[in-house]
Protein backbone atom coordinates (compact mmCIF):
# COMPACT_ATOMS: atom_id res chain seq x y z
CA UNK A 1 0.00 0.00 0.00
CA UNK A 2 1.33 3.45 -0.92
CA UNK A 3 0.16 6.43 1.08
CA UNK A 4 0.22 9.38 -1.30
CA UNK A 5 2.42 12.29 -0.35
CA UNK A 6 4.30 10.38 2.35
CA UNK A 7 7.77 8.79 2.13
CA UNK A 8 7.81 5.07 1.39
CA UNK A 9 8.91 2.71 4.19
CA UNK A 10 12.57 1.80 3.67
CA UNK A 11 13.54 -1.80 4.24
CA UNK A 12 17.17 -0.95 4.98
CA UNK A 13 16.03 1.09 7.98
CA UNK A 14 13.66 -1.65 9.14
CA UNK A 15 10.70 0.71 8.97
CA UNK A 16 7.25 -0.48 10.03
CA UNK A 17 5.10 2.55 10.82
CA UNK A 18 2.61 2.28 13.66
CA UNK A 19 -0.84 3.22 12.32
CA UNK A 20 -3.15 1.89 15.03
CA UNK A 21 -4.59 4.81 17.04
CA UNK A 22 -5.44 2.66 20.06
CA UNK A 23 -1.88 1.35 20.32
CA UNK A 24 -0.54 4.90 20.02
CA UNK A 25 -2.82 6.06 22.84
CA UNK A 26 -1.82 3.17 25.10
CA UNK A 27 1.89 3.82 24.53
CA UNK A 28 1.54 7.49 25.48
CA UNK A 29 -0.54 6.57 28.52
CA UNK A 30 2.15 4.08 29.54
CA UNK A 31 4.84 6.75 29.34
CA UNK A 32 2.70 9.43 31.05
CA UNK A 33 4.94 12.29 29.82
CA UNK A 34 5.19 15.42 31.96
CA UNK A 35 5.77 18.99 30.76
CA UNK A 36 8.74 19.42 33.14
CA UNK A 37 10.87 16.64 31.61
CA UNK A 38 12.65 16.03 28.32
CA UNK A 39 10.61 13.64 26.17
CA UNK A 40 12.71 11.81 23.58
CA UNK A 41 11.20 9.77 20.76
CA UNK A 42 13.43 7.28 18.96
CA UNK A 43 12.47 6.65 15.34
CA UNK A 44 9.32 8.79 15.05
CA UNK A 45 8.65 7.70 11.47
CA UNK A 46 5.67 9.62 10.09
CA UNK A 47 4.81 11.12 13.47
CA UNK A 48 1.85 9.13 14.83
CA UNK A 49 3.37 8.93 18.31
CA UNK A 50 4.86 12.40 18.00
CA UNK A 51 1.45 13.95 17.46
CA UNK A 52 0.01 12.18 20.50
CA UNK A 53 2.99 13.20 22.66
CA UNK A 54 2.68 16.84 21.63
CA UNK A 55 -0.92 16.78 22.83
CA UNK A 56 0.50 16.16 26.32
CA UNK A 57 3.78 18.12 26.43
CA UNK A 58 4.94 21.40 24.84
CA UNK A 59 8.04 20.01 23.13
CA UNK A 60 9.48 16.68 21.98
CA UNK A 61 13.02 15.74 20.95
CA UNK A 62 12.95 13.22 18.10
CA UNK A 63 15.84 11.16 16.68
CA UNK A 64 15.28 10.12 13.06
CA UNK A 65 17.90 8.81 10.63
CA UNK A 66 15.75 8.94 7.48
CA UNK A 67 16.22 12.41 5.93
CA UNK A 68 12.88 12.36 4.11
CA UNK A 69 11.00 11.55 7.30
CA UNK A 70 13.01 14.15 9.21
CA UNK A 71 11.96 16.83 6.72
CA UNK A 72 8.34 15.69 6.90
CA UNK A 73 8.32 15.86 10.69
CA UNK A 74 9.82 19.35 10.89
CA UNK A 75 7.32 20.62 8.33
CA UNK A 76 4.42 18.96 10.10
CA UNK A 77 5.17 19.99 13.69
CA UNK A 78 7.53 22.98 13.37
CA UNK A 79 10.94 23.52 15.01
CA UNK A 80 9.41 25.32 17.99
CA UNK A 81 7.69 22.14 19.19
CA UNK A 82 9.95 19.49 17.68
CA UNK A 83 13.69 19.33 18.19
CA UNK A 84 14.74 16.99 15.38
CA UNK A 85 18.08 15.19 15.45
CA UNK A 86 18.72 13.69 12.01
CA UNK A 87 21.11 11.02 13.24
CA UNK A 88 21.49 7.37 14.12
CA UNK A 89 20.35 7.01 17.74
CA UNK A 90 23.41 4.87 18.46
CA UNK A 91 25.55 7.93 17.76
CA UNK A 92 23.55 10.29 19.98
CA UNK A 93 24.69 10.96 23.54
CA UNK A 94 21.36 10.66 25.29
CA UNK A 95 22.72 12.10 28.52
CA UNK A 96 23.44 15.34 26.64
CA UNK A 97 19.77 15.89 25.88
CA UNK A 98 19.00 16.98 29.42
CA UNK A 99 17.92 14.72 32.27
CA UNK A 100 15.52 13.55 33.41
CA UNK A 101 14.63 11.82 30.16
CA UNK A 102 11.38 10.03 29.32
CA UNK A 103 12.10 7.94 26.24
CA UNK A 104 9.60 6.36 23.87
CA UNK A 105 10.09 4.47 20.65
CA UNK A 106 8.85 1.89 18.19
CA UNK A 107 12.30 0.41 17.66
CA UNK A 108 13.30 -1.04 14.28
CA UNK A 109 13.87 -4.75 14.77
CA UNK A 110 17.36 -4.65 13.28
CA UNK A 111 18.70 -2.27 15.94
CA UNK A 112 16.49 -3.02 18.95
CA UNK A 113 19.13 -4.91 20.97
CA UNK A 114 21.90 -2.29 20.43
CA UNK A 115 19.46 0.47 21.39
CA UNK A 116 18.45 -1.45 24.53
CA UNK A 117 22.12 -1.82 25.48
CA UNK A 118 22.68 1.89 24.88
CA UNK A 119 19.79 2.82 27.16
CA UNK A 120 21.22 0.54 29.86
CA UNK A 121 24.63 2.20 29.49
CA UNK A 122 23.18 5.72 29.71
CA UNK A 123 20.62 4.93 32.39
CA UNK A 124 21.86 7.72 34.67
CA UNK A 125 20.07 10.31 32.53
CA UNK A 126 16.89 8.27 32.02
CA UNK A 127 13.94 8.20 34.40
CA UNK A 128 11.82 5.78 32.39
CA UNK A 129 11.08 4.56 28.89
CA UNK A 130 8.29 2.87 26.95
CA UNK A 131 9.81 0.83 24.14
CA UNK A 132 8.33 -1.49 21.55
CA UNK A 133 10.31 -4.57 20.52
CA UNK A 134 9.84 -7.67 18.47
CA UNK A 135 8.18 -10.07 20.91
CA UNK A 136 11.20 -12.38 20.88
CA UNK A 137 13.44 -9.56 22.17
CA UNK A 138 10.88 -8.59 24.80
CA UNK A 139 10.85 -12.18 26.02
CA UNK A 140 14.62 -11.99 26.52
CA UNK A 141 14.22 -8.82 28.55
CA UNK A 142 11.57 -10.42 30.78
CA UNK A 143 13.04 -13.93 31.03
CA UNK A 144 13.78 -15.76 34.27
CA UNK A 145 16.73 -18.06 35.05
CA UNK A 146 16.46 -21.55 33.67
CA UNK A 147 14.68 -20.55 30.46
CA UNK A 148 16.17 -20.44 26.94
CA UNK A 149 15.42 -16.70 26.56
CA UNK A 150 17.46 -15.80 29.68
CA UNK A 151 20.81 -14.24 28.83
CA UNK A 152 23.11 -11.20 29.06
CA UNK A 153 20.42 -8.74 27.96
CA UNK A 154 18.08 -10.06 30.67
CA UNK A 155 20.67 -9.64 33.41
CA UNK A 156 21.95 -6.20 32.42
CA UNK A 157 18.52 -4.72 31.77
CA UNK A 158 17.14 -6.17 34.99
CA UNK A 159 19.87 -4.61 37.12
CA UNK A 160 19.41 -1.20 35.49
CA UNK A 161 15.60 -1.04 35.14
CA UNK A 162 12.38 -2.59 36.33
CA UNK A 163 10.88 -3.85 33.08
CA UNK A 164 7.19 -4.59 32.61
CA UNK A 165 5.27 -6.01 29.68
CA UNK A 166 2.44 -3.60 28.86
CA UNK A 167 0.74 -5.18 25.83
CA UNK A 168 1.30 -6.93 22.51
CA UNK A 169 0.76 -5.26 19.14
CA UNK A 170 -0.33 -7.42 16.17
CA UNK A 171 1.19 -7.06 12.68
CA UNK A 172 -1.96 -5.36 11.40
CA UNK A 173 -1.21 -2.30 13.55
CA UNK A 174 1.69 -1.39 11.24
CA UNK A 175 2.36 -0.34 7.66
CA UNK A 176 3.85 -2.38 6.17
CA UNK A 177 2.85 -5.37 8.25
CA UNK A 178 5.84 -7.10 9.90
CA UNK A 179 5.98 -10.88 10.04
CA UNK A 180 6.02 -10.94 13.84
CA UNK A 181 4.08 -9.72 16.88
CA UNK A 182 5.53 -6.75 18.78
CA UNK A 183 5.52 -6.12 22.53
CA UNK A 184 5.43 -2.78 24.34
CA UNK A 185 7.52 -2.64 27.51
CA UNK A 186 7.93 -0.04 30.24
CA UNK A 187 11.35 0.57 31.81
CA UNK A 188 11.64 2.33 35.18
CA UNK A 189 15.18 3.01 36.38
CA UNK A 190 16.38 1.36 39.57
CA UNK A 191 18.57 3.11 42.08
CA UNK A 192 22.14 3.39 40.79
CA UNK A 193 23.41 1.05 43.53
CA UNK A 194 21.84 -1.98 41.85
CA UNK A 195 24.38 -1.70 39.03
CA UNK A 196 27.33 0.45 40.09
CA UNK A 197 29.06 2.08 37.13
CA UNK A 198 32.45 0.86 38.35
CA UNK A 199 31.47 -2.81 38.06
CA UNK A 200 29.46 -2.63 34.85
CA UNK A 201 32.39 -3.29 32.44
CA UNK A 202 33.37 -6.39 34.42
CA UNK A 203 29.76 -7.60 34.51
CA UNK A 204 29.47 -7.23 30.74
CA UNK A 205 32.72 -9.20 30.32
CA UNK A 206 31.50 -11.96 32.67
CA UNK A 207 28.22 -12.26 30.79
CA UNK A 208 29.99 -12.47 27.42
CA UNK A 209 32.20 -15.25 28.72
CA UNK A 210 29.53 -17.12 30.67
CA UNK A 211 27.06 -17.29 27.76
CA UNK A 212 29.64 -17.77 24.99
CA UNK A 213 28.60 -21.42 24.57
CA UNK A 214 25.24 -21.93 26.22
CA UNK A 215 25.49 -25.73 26.37
CA UNK A 216 28.83 -25.60 28.21
CA UNK A 217 29.22 -25.31 31.96
CA UNK A 218 30.12 -22.02 33.56
CA UNK A 219 33.61 -23.30 34.46
CA UNK A 220 34.37 -24.34 30.89
CA UNK A 221 33.23 -21.02 29.51
CA UNK A 222 35.11 -18.87 32.04
CA UNK A 223 38.39 -20.76 31.77
CA UNK A 224 38.53 -19.86 28.07
CA UNK A 225 38.41 -16.14 28.88
CA UNK A 226 40.75 -15.96 31.87
CA UNK A 227 44.54 -15.72 31.44
CA UNK A 228 45.05 -18.31 34.19
CA UNK A 229 42.75 -20.81 32.53
CA UNK A 230 41.00 -23.44 34.63
CA UNK A 231 43.04 -22.77 37.78
CA UNK A 232 42.01 -19.12 37.84
CA UNK A 233 38.41 -19.92 36.91
CA UNK A 234 38.08 -22.44 39.75
CA UNK A 235 39.50 -19.97 42.28
CA UNK A 236 37.28 -17.16 41.05
CA UNK A 237 34.12 -19.27 41.21
CA UNK A 238 35.03 -20.51 44.67
CA UNK A 239 35.54 -16.94 45.85
CA UNK A 240 32.16 -15.93 44.42
CA UNK A 241 30.47 -19.03 45.93
CA UNK A 242 29.13 -20.06 42.52
CA UNK A 243 28.89 -23.66 41.29
CA UNK A 244 30.96 -23.90 38.11
CA UNK A 245 29.21 -27.12 37.08
CA UNK A 246 26.05 -25.16 36.29
CA UNK A 247 25.26 -23.59 32.96
CA UNK A 248 25.02 -19.81 32.82
CA UNK A 249 21.27 -19.81 32.19
CA UNK A 250 20.73 -21.49 35.58
CA UNK A 251 22.34 -18.66 37.59
CA UNK A 252 20.39 -15.82 39.20
CA UNK A 253 21.54 -12.30 38.30
CA UNK A 254 23.27 -11.74 41.66
CA UNK A 255 25.63 -14.65 40.95
CA UNK A 256 27.00 -12.86 37.89
CA UNK A 257 27.48 -9.72 39.95
CA UNK A 258 29.45 -11.74 42.53
CA UNK A 259 31.72 -13.10 39.78
CA UNK A 260 32.14 -9.62 38.28
CA UNK A 261 33.34 -8.27 41.65
CA UNK A 262 36.32 -10.66 41.39
CA UNK A 263 36.85 -10.48 37.61
CA UNK A 264 40.47 -9.53 36.77
CA UNK A 265 40.84 -6.10 35.21
CA UNK A 266 41.59 -6.31 31.52
CA UNK A 267 40.19 -9.83 31.01
CA UNK A 268 38.07 -9.97 27.83
Question: pLDDT tens-digit profile of 197-221?
Answer: 899 999 999 999 999 999 999 999 9
Q: What digits encode the pLDDT tens for the residues 141-150? A: 999 999 999 9
**Burial class for 194, CB neighbours closer than 10 Å (0-12, 13-18, 19+):** middle
pLDDT at 191 over 90: no
The pTM assigned to this predicted structure is 0.91
pLDDT at 37 over 90: yes
Q: What is the mean pLDDT of residues 179-205?
A: 92
Task: Give residue 180's pLDDT band: very low, low, confident or very high (50, 70, 90).
Answer: very high
In angstroms and rounded to an integer, the radius of gyration of the C-alpha atoms of the chain is: 20
Q: What digits encode the pLDDT tens for the residues 96-121? A: 998 799 999 998 888 899 999 999 99
pLDDT of res. 266: 75
Q: Which domains, from first to last, does the chain contain?
A: 11-194 (3.40.50.150), 200-262 (1.10.8.100)
Share of the chain above pLDDT 90, in %: 84
pLDDT of res. 3: 38
Residues written for the chain: 268
* Position with higher pLDDT, 176 vs 27: 27
Q: What is the mean pLDDT of residues 186-201?
A: 90
pLDDT at 13 over 70: no
**CA pair distance 30, 48, nearest whole angstrom:** 16
DSSP element (H, E) containing 82? strand 82-85
**CA pair distance 93, 220, nearest whole angstrom:** 37
pLDDT of res. 1: 31
Q: What is the mean pLDDT of residues 109-136?
A: 94
Amino acid sequence: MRVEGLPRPRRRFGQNFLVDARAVRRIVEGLAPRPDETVVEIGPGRGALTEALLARVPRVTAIELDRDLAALLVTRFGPERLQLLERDVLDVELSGLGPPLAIVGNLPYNVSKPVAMKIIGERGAIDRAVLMFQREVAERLLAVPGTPAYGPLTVLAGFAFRIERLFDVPPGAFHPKPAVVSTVTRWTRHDAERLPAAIEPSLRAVLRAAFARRRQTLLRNLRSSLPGGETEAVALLRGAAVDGALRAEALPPDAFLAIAALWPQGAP
